[in-house]
Amino acid sequence: MKLDVQVSGKNTAQLYRERDEYVLKYLPDADPANFVSLLMPVREEPWRWPRDLHPFFRQNLPEGYLLNVIREEFGPQLDGTDLSLLAVVGGMGIGRVTVTPEGGKPATEMEPLQIERLLKADNTSEHFTILVRRYACASISGMVPKFIAQQDTPADATGPLGKPTLRTSRHIIKGSDDNTPYLGFNEFYSMRVLESLSVVPVARTHMSDDGRVLVVERFDVDEHGVPSHGLEDACGLLGLPPHEKYATTTEKALNATRAYK
């Protein structure tokens, strides 16, 4: 299996497995500005990683709750490798990099979601499970129920009646289940505290009336909802696998990013 890797919509590299290694090979005409990761700039020689996917690609693999949903929904398309999992979910993630099966295109057509209605709804675990399954193909990594949602067309938008004109995701939706009640509520106020410190830019967030759903405005897209920024996970820069992401320190994360300021 080979996967195409796009940066800002342009085919830039291929990702595949070769014996016990995963290989990222840039195309001959790849623009140096279209690097996939800070750790893997454009070059002629392929980037190899032993046994597992490169840290950059692992950062976007679903975990926990969302992984179980995807296994149930897309089981026949998975062969037990991270490469096949990335083939399913890599077309619509966070940041400017997308990954699709060879010859495929990123999945940008998603059913719109009424954010205002979600904020007012009774967001039971059962209700949120239905939403997660509906948007599973547009998943991002996370141990709690979480998915990317697309916003409805603005009322004054032009175009055919009933057909949305903005087809790019604008929000990340995070929910709580019975084992982690009001987890989003806790994160919402953590973001508010961080914002009040005025130390770093903080994404805008909204909390549902019932305190069970957190809506985060996408921080990697422009005013039209088109991905315009890359995204690097600090643990990815440290080369850590997902199960070790809590085994590091803030100081190590800051040191890992300082070289790229």
pLDDT at residue 243 in the model:
78
Q: What is the mean pLDDT of residues 204-220?
A: 86
Query: Does 199 score more than 50 pLDDT?
Result: yes
Query: Does 159 score more than 60 pLDDT?
Result: no
Query: Does 193 score more than 60 pLDDT?
Result: yes
* Average pLDDT over all residues of the chain: 79
Which one is predicted more confidently, 81 or 35?
35
Best mean pLDDT range from 48-52, 57-61, 108-112, 248-252:
48-52
Place of tokens 């004109």: 165
- pLDDT category, 57, cuts 50, 70, 90? very high
Q: What is the mean pLDDT of residues 101-110?
A: 70
Best mean pLDDT range from 1-5, 154-158, 239-243:
1-5
Q: What is the mean pLDDT of residues 118-132?
A: 73
Query: Does 192 score more than 80 pLDDT?
Result: yes
- Prediction pTM value: 0.76
Helix intervals (H) in the chain: 55-58, 64-74, 82-89, 115-120, 125-134, 183-197, 234-237, 250-258
| Alpha carbon of residue 63 to chain centroid | 12
Pairing of strands 2-7, 112-113: unpaired
| Alpha carbon of residue 82 to chain centroid | 15
pLDDT at residue 152 in the model:
52
Place of tokens 């055919």: 160
Q: What is the mean pLDDT of residues 64-71?
A: 76
Q: Pick the range with the lowest mean pLDDT from 8-12, 16-20, 148-152, 183-187.
A: 148-152
C-alpha to C-alpha distances, 169 to 10, 14, 165, nearest whole angstrom:
19, 25, 12
Q: What is the mean pLDDT of residues 209-235?
A: 84
Q: Exposed e or buried b for every residue in 214-239, given b needs 16+ CB within 10 A? A: bbbebebbeeebebeebbbbbbbbbe
Which one is predicted more confidently, 96 or 154?
96
The single-letter DSSP state of residue 46 is P
- pLDDT category, 7, cuts 50, 70, 90? very high
